[in-house]
Amino acid sequence: MSATVTRLSSNKVRIDFTVDAERFEKGIIAAYRKNVGKISIPGFRKGKAPRKVIETHYGEGVFYEDAIEEIFPEVYSQAVSENGLEPVDRPQFELKSAAHGQPLEFSVEVFVTPEVTLGQYKGLAV
């Protein structure tokens, strides 16, 4: 996982993430396990359909959203703590690319506490 922070203004940053394919695959597997009981495929008992059959029937990206929801909290909190950011709002998510066997790429924009520069305040007469 790599995260690149770009300051957009004094109180807004964009964080670009690249999650390796192996970690994204683990997220897809977790999403499959979470949702397999809810998916019904003709010819299989409910909750017993293999992942490949579900992906063929509903499309390759059927588990991507849940996989991202599985991965995002850990990756985001790690990037925030490593870069010393203090978010004050929810991040705005933007997906760049997601595919089987490829790294997951996305970015978030979030408001953070602004950088404040204090002027000379010592020695002022009251």
Contacts (Cβ under 8 Å, ≥6 apart) of 29: 51
pLDDT number for residue 47: 86
Cβ–Cβ < 8 Å for 64, 19: no
Q: Which of 33, 91, 90, 99 is nearest to 61 (CA)?
A: 99
Please give the pLDDT value at position 115.
80
pLDDT at 116: 79
pLDDT tens for each residue of 81-119: 999 999 999 999 999 999 988 999 999 999 999 887 888
Mean pLDDT of 12-19: 96
For residue 124, is pLDDT > 80? no
Q: Give just the sign of the alpha carbon dihedral 75, 78, 82, 86.
A: positive
Q: How many Å apart are CA 33 and CA 35, to the nearest integer?
A: 6
User: What is the pLDDT averaged over residues 15-24?
Assistant: 95
What pLDDT, on a 0 to 100 scale, did the predictor assign at position 118? 82
Instruction: Give 111: exposed, middle or buried? Use CB within 10 Å, 0-12, 13-18, 19+.
Output: middle
pTM of this prediction? 0.82
User: Taking CA 119 as the corner, what is the angle to CA 113 and CA 122, rounded to the nearest 5 degrees?
Assistant: 120
pLDDT for the residue numbered 91:
95
- Residues 42-72 have pLDDT tens digits of 999 988 999 999 999 999 999 999 999 999 9
Residue whose pair of structure tokens reads 């499959």 in the numeric block = 32
pLDDT band with cut points at 50, 70 and 90 for residue 121:
confident
